[in-house]
Structure 1
Amino acid sequence: MSDHSNAPVAPVEAYEPPYYAAVFTAVRTPAQSGYSETNERMEELVKDIPGYLGMDSAQTPGGLGISVAYFRDADALTQWRTNTEHRAAQERGRAEWYESYTLHVARVERSHGFTRGEVPKSPKTG
């Protein structure tokens, strides 16, 4: 989502399934006025949702952006989907910032992780 070029690069940890992943893939328009500020606000806001586990984001040089938000349960995901500020940002995104996008919501059935130099560990129970 936002450009955290000084932040350490690491994926969201593996959690004990089941949990949910919302995969948002988008191509943005050239008109990006206000996008960064709104994006930062959404990143702050989603952290207040009980059951929010984290987010992974990436941007290709060609302009395809992918964000994956992880939620402990369907209720947490619904709370985020129906948040008033988030809904307003979605509307503005369709009107100004996105050429196209897709959203896929999936229930995670299996999860594990790897970090070089560390002993393998079980998923977190978040």
Structure 2
Amino acid sequence: MTRNRITPVEAYEPPYYAAVFTTVRTQGPSGYGETDARMEELVKDIPGYLGMDHTQTPGGLGIAVGYFRDADALTEWRTNAEHEHRVAQKRGQAQWYESCTPHVAKVERSHGFVRARDPRSPTAG
């Protein structure tokens, strides 16, 4: 059996920016998955984009954190030249979210570790 390994975004050398979005989803969000996948595809093309972590609880609470090298990269994403991000935001307000709260922070300290894995483990690799 193959398992997907969960890998968070690595710790980068500060300073950089984190855009944290906490959301509560509505029931039956039609088209959400496709739009979410498209937004992840678009943000990867932004110079200075570092990665994204996200999670969703069964009850509908979502947390997504996008990491950006500088404020210009974050601004580029927020104002996305293709305007698809703006369209997605409006659709989210109208259909997909009961609430959405964005937080933007400058990261001043960052560190991390990865536990060494036993290469003999059946889940290694």
1:60 is displaced (CA, Å) by 1.6
Contact 1:55 1:68 in 2 (8 A): yes
Residue of structure 2 in register with 1:16 after alignment: 13
RMSD of aligned Cα (Å):
1.2
Q: Tell me the TM-score normalized by structure 1.
A: 0.86
Q: Provide the secondary structure at the position in 2 that maps to 1:92.
A: helix
1:49 is displaced (CA, Å) by 0.2
Structure 1 CA distance for aligned equivalents of residues 10 and 59 of structure 2? 27
Q: Aligned partner of 1:76: which letter?
A: A
Would the alpha carbon gap of residues 96 and 20 (structure 1) be closer, same or farther in structure 2, given more than 3 Å must change?
same
Residue of structure 1 in register with 2:122 after alignment: none
Q: Provide the secondary structure at the position in 2 that maps to 1:53.
A: strand
Query: Which has more radius of gyration?
Result: 2
Residue of structure 1 in register with 2:67 after alignment: 70
Residue of structure 1 in register with 2:107 after alignment: 108
| Stretches of structure 1 lacking an aligned partner (at least 5 in a row) | 1-5, 119-126
Q: How does 1:26-65 map to 2 (within 5 A)?
A: 26-65=23-62
Structure 2 CA distance for aligned equivalents of residues 104 and 7 of structure 1? 29
| Stretches of structure 2 lacking an aligned partner (at least 5 in a row) | 118-125
Structure 1 CA distance for aligned equivalents of residues 52 and 67 of structure 2? 6
Q: Tell me the TM-score normalized by structure 2.
A: 0.87
Residue of structure 1 in register with 2:87 after alignment: 88
Contact 1:46 1:80 in 2 (8 A): yes
1:61 is displaced (CA, Å) by 2.4
